[in-house]
Structure 1
């Protein structure tokens, strides 16, 4: 009886916080603080409406990248610094929460000691948060620092030392956190054939997208040791989706005079196809005019935005592992087998429930968002569905509707960005918490 009383008392301790509550509350506080800072007269080049400041802060914290006004033309250096900080804190906060959820449910990272101890009630102690956040921040700053050098070699000759280094830093942070914010009004269209931009930027957002668990698993890998199932699925899925997307975009856009056909040679077209195929997962940069893409290509991008990135990364969407779990389960049903497997790994009921929960909620969210935008905005269905998927997947690609949004439309998009950022991990955490999570190599969904 005494032990039970002590446990209940510990559970009510103010120093133990529910991870879903921590994530949601933290993002809301960041959005409010960011809005107040961006509304300061010295943060913008001209007076900024409260709605625009709120939209920019929400987009930055949720690392989406949708903007109602071009970032570089709207904000002063101070405003750009605020956006950079919001992107970094928002992206790394999400990654920290993802790692905490993974470890608190019994997971382990190959090649690393456990960063967090399992606790009753799936609660998180501040020491666990700090320890995990330190490891995540160290990884992020290392990768962003490495990328700073080649990006500076591109932008310093164009803009001078101060502005060139600032551009390199801003885009490095934006890319790793899958935010998609740029200081150029046309995103990366001016660099469609630049090999440095088209390798460094994707390397950053793919690294941030696959997440801390996958990167740590790769760094800790030794010959003869089995790769973790999460590492295998995310890497294989990322490779397949990236290559398939690149081929499809090239084939669908090669004759489009407004996109690929405007580029001078085959190499430039391949670079542009590569970046445009990888950025929907969920970085939001573009080197092609999104509004000028064919309907077929737009549908391909909607699918890629819906899938998103890795479960423990800075991206959103239903996640790569979710897609492959559902495909494996479907293939098992077609073959009339009883137990679905992926890379010879049995997919348990908990993982299937997570995958189904996240996917169904995403479909409902996109449908509701598309319906709401169809009512509030004067735009065709493809454009509305594209914008809704981009917002819920926190991607940041736009067919031109976001800058023209009504007040209600802005409210709908902001709500979808917030929901798309916090809900997949919250659902995965809650479903996983309801089951025995003692299996150490469980596939991570959401």
Structure 2
């Protein structure tokens, strides 16, 4: 080595996506160490289980290799809540908030990092977006905690009722799906108040912060951005369709809807219809659903929530862009058009790249998991992997039975589902500096 001090004076430069990824992994590492402390758990847990729960919480997934309610102490549950809140709203957003509260100026480099973390097209307005994000998030969580306490306090007592309300509100708003009950929310399958509050939280958190800010600022349909309009309309359509299909597939199933009353069937269909894309809460036994329902949920989990939201998946707008691009191709149009607005080819390429890389990654995880989980149904494995990728958290009972390699694979999928597609999108959004134009070539397809 010609100059041994060169590395010290010229450290490795990380791109914003790489820096955010390392910051996120550091959060998981800290969470794992805290959850492994004796003060954090009632029962002894292994390092792999502590790592799994920390990863699931930080990625706001909700898959749990051990029962959080009976395994962890109050300290451990608070650590999980912290990981959920930071992971849901963003590590960089929290760091920026601390800097803002200290009265220091945000550098251009920090603004670029926030732009990457919040999936914004430019650095303009990112500071204002972070402020609005925290004000809205904390406000909505405080308000819904109050209303949920009205339901839980008479049943659980004052302190436990308030604590359970806080836990489930934070978990729901950040689309984490963690519950302190071992059977999820099945005990409240027909409870209108619990169903409405919890679903309102994860739908709101899953729409995306930019959409919420746009609605708050514009307040008129005509002045809303195209992204906001697409998200609102597509969210309504996909939720209505999924609710109806869930009821159609399950109303004759004696282990799910078939054992419930009419009102309970309505609330169960509504809740499980809107939950798979984002939250991962369950109000029925997921191990008893029909193959049709499991396939429907796999599709919903793969599509996921909205961009810049607390949810995962390829994102709903990505799915919509691909659908319109296919429609444009079949009609012989050069570019897809949504609401009288032409979608740039670069956006279509980005949507296709995100979906393709995601599918390839999921297939790779399926091959490994199918090999190590010998006695498990393939559909159950598919459900688990896609749930981890979409950071949903629903499971057909495989999570607790995962081998050590299986847990590591699912952890990798959860991390990729949280930061992979987003990082890929920003990388592909940057225009290439190459100006060479090669001759056209023919490749037969189809």
Into which bin does the TM-score normalised by the smaller protein fall?
Answer: 0.7 to 0.9
Q: Decide which of 271, 277, 284 is 2:280's aligned counterpart.
A: 284
Partner residue in 2 for 1:442: none
| Mapping for residues 328-347 of structure 1, pairs under 5 Å | 328-347=324-343
Change (3 A) 1:198 1:13: farther
Partner residue in 1 for 2:5: none
Q: Is residue 2:197 matched to residue 1:197?
A: no
- Could you tell me how far apart the structure 1 residues matched to 2:338 and 2:392 are? 27
- Could you tell me how far apart the structure 1 residues matched to 2:119 and 2:396 are? 40
Contact 1:258 1:292 in 2 (8 A): yes
Partner residue in 2 for 1:44: 41
Using structure 2 for the length normalisation, give the TM-score: 0.87
User: 1:106: Cα distance to partner?
Assistant: 3.8
| Mapping for residues 25-424 of structure 1, pairs under 5 Å | 25-93=22-90, 96=93, 100-101=115-116, 106-107=121-122, 114-116=124-126, 132-223=129-220, 225-264=222-261, 266-377=262-373, 378-424=375-421
- Could you tell me how far apart the structure 1 residues matched to 2:81 and 2:15 are? 28
Change (3 A) 1:103 1:94: closer
Contact 1:103 1:115 in 2 (8 A): no
- Could you tell me how far apart the structure 2 residues matched to 1:198 and 1:338 are? 44
User: 1:170: Cα distance to partner?
Assistant: 0.4
Contact 1:98 1:425 in 2 (8 A): no
Contact 1:246 1:276 in 2 (8 A): yes
User: 1:338: Cα distance to partner?
Assistant: 1.9
- Could you tell me how far apart the structure 1 residues matched to 2:300 and 2:245 are? 12
Contact 1:95 1:136 in 2 (8 A): no
- Could you tell me how far apart the structure 2 residues matched to 1:190 and 1:94 are? 34
Change (3 A) 1:287 1:331: same
SS in 2 for 1:186: coil
Contact 1:308 1:393 in 2 (8 A): yes
Paired residues, what number?
405
Render the CA deviation track for 1:27-54: whole Å, top value 9, x for unaligned: 1111111111111111101111111111
User: 1:139: Cα distance to partner?
Assistant: 1.7
Render the CA deviation track for 1:7-64: whole Å, top value 9, x for unaligned: xxxxx999x9743123211211111111111111111011111111111001000110
Using structure 1 for the length normalisation, give the TM-score: 0.87
Contact 1:71 1:183 in 2 (8 A): yes
Where do 4+ consecutive residues of structure 1 move more than 6 Å?
A: none
Q: Which runs of 5+ in 1 are unaligned?
A: 1-11, 109-113, 117-127, 437-446
Contact 1:38 1:79 in 2 (8 A): yes
Which deviates the most, 249-258 or 16-25? 16-25
Contact 2:62 2:393 in 1 (8 A): yes
User: 1:381: Cα distance to partner?
Assistant: 0.8
Change (3 A) 1:224 1:391: closer
Render the CA deviation track for 1:54-97: whole Å, top value 9, x for unaligned: 11001000110000111101101110000000000011116949
- Could you tell me how far apart the structure 1 residues matched to 2:297 and 2:186 are? 17
- Could you tell me how far apart the structure 2 residues matched to 1:105 and 1:396 are? 27
User: 1:105: Cα distance to partner?
Assistant: 5.8
User: 1:98: Cα distance to partner?
Assistant: 9.6
RMSD: 2.1
Change (3 A) 1:300 1:99: farther
SS in 1 for 2:192: coil
- Could you tell me how far apart the structure 2 residues matched to 1:136 and 1:395 are? 22
User: 1:398: Cα distance to partner?
Assistant: 0.3
